[in-house]
Chains A and B, each alone.
Chain A
Amino acid sequence: MISYFVSFLIMGSIYAMAALALNLQWGFTGLMNFGIGAFYMLGAYTSAILTCPATTEHLGGFGLPLVVGFAGAALVPGVVAFLIGFPALRLRGGTFAIALLAIHETLLLTVRNESWLTNGVWGIRGIPRPFFEVINPRHYGYFYLIIAGGLLILAYLAITKSVGSPWGRILRGISEDEDLTSMSGKNCWSYKMQSFVFGSMVMGIAGATYVHYTGFVSPQVFNPLMSTFYVWLIVMVGGTGNNKGVIVGAFLVWAIWVGSDFLTDFVPAAVATRIGFIRMLFVGIILTVTILTRPQGILSRKRLIADWYR
Chain B
Amino acid sequence: MSSKKFNKGRFGKCFLATMMVALVFSFINSPGYCEEEMKIGSLIPMSGDLAAYGKCVQQGVNLAAKHINEAGGPLNMKLKVVFRDSQTDPTALRDSAEKLVNVDKVPAIVGPMIRSDVATPVTAPNHVVIISPSNTPTWVTTLKDDDYTFRTTSSDAIQGKVLGKLAWERNYKTASILYINDPYGGGLAESCKEWFEKSRGKILGQASYDPGKASYKMQLKELAKGNPDVLILIGYPESGTVIIRQALSEGLFSQFLFPDGMQSQQIIDSVGGNYLEGMYGTGPGAAENPSYKSYLKEFNKVYGANPATAYSENAYDGVVVIALAIQAAGKDALKTDPGKAIRDKLRVVANPPGEKIIASVDGFRKAFRLLAEGKDIDYEGAAGSIDFDEHGDTMTPILVWKIEKRKIVPVRSVIPD
Residue ranges of A at the interface with B (Cβ–Cβ < 8 Å): 1-5, 7-8, 11-12, 112-113, 120-123, 125-126, 129, 137-138, 140, 214-216, 218, 220-221, 223, 226, 242, 244-245, 247-248, 251-252, 255, 257-259, 261-262, 264-265, 269, 272-277, 279-280, 298-304, 307
Contacts and interface: CB of A to CB of B under 8 A. Distances in A.
B95 A258 contact: yes
Interface stretch (B26-34, B243-251, B328-336, B400-408): B26-34
Interface stretch (B78-86, B220-228, B256-264, B315-323): B78-86
A229 to B, nearest CB: 13
B25 interface: yes
Given A216-B90, A248-B11, A5 B1 contact: no
Interface stretch (B181-189, B305-313, B381-389): B181-189
A279 B85 CA distance: 11
Most buried by A among B25, B29, B91: B91
A7 B118 contact: no
A121 B186 contact: yes
17 contacts: A4-B101, A4-B103, A5-B26, A8-B22, A125-B117, A214-B121, A215-B121, A226-B91, A258-B92, A258-B99, A262-B103, A264-B84, A275-B46, A276-B47, A277-B47, A299-B6, A299-B11
A120 B137 CA distance: 14
Nearest to B10: A299
Interface stretch (B12-20, B277-285, B344-352, B366-374): B12-20
A265 B186 CA distance: 38
A261 B182 contact: no
Given A248-B14, A276-B46, A122 B183 contact: yes
Contacts of A215: 121
B55 A273 contact: yes
Contact of A252 (B6, B21, B182): B21
B87 A1 contact: no
A262 B28 contact: yes
**What does DSSP make chain B's interface, helix, strand, loop or mixed?**
helix
Interface residues of B, number: 58
B91 A11 contact: yes
Q: Which residue of B23, B117, B139 has the most chain A CB atoms within 10 A of its CB atom?
A: B117
Contacts of B126: 137-138
A4 B99 contact: yes
Contact of A307 (B3, B27, B89): B3
A1 B117 contact: no
A112 B1 CA distance: 50
Given A122-B139, A275-B46, A1 B121 contact: no
Contacts of B95: 7-8, 11, 258
Interface in B44-84: 46-48, 51, 55, 58, 62, 82-84
7 shortest A-B CB distances, which residue pairs?
Answer: A276-B47, A137-B125, A259-B25, A4-B102, A3-B102, A244-B11, A255-B22
Nearest to A8: B22
Given A220-B90, A265-B29, A300 B6 contact: yes
A40 B348 CA distance: 46
B298 interface: no
Contacts of B144: 126
A95 B117 CA distance: 39
B194 interface: no
A227 to B, nearest CB: 9
A215 B118 CA distance: 8
Contacts of A301: 3
B28 A218 contact: no
A247 B15 contact: yes
B152 to A, nearest CB: 22
Interface in B140-198: 143-144, 181-183, 186
A76 B321 CA distance: 48
A172 B208 CA distance: 47
A93 B210 CA distance: 31
B21 A7 contact: no
Contacts of B376: none
Given A5-B23, A299-B11, A251 B18 contact: yes
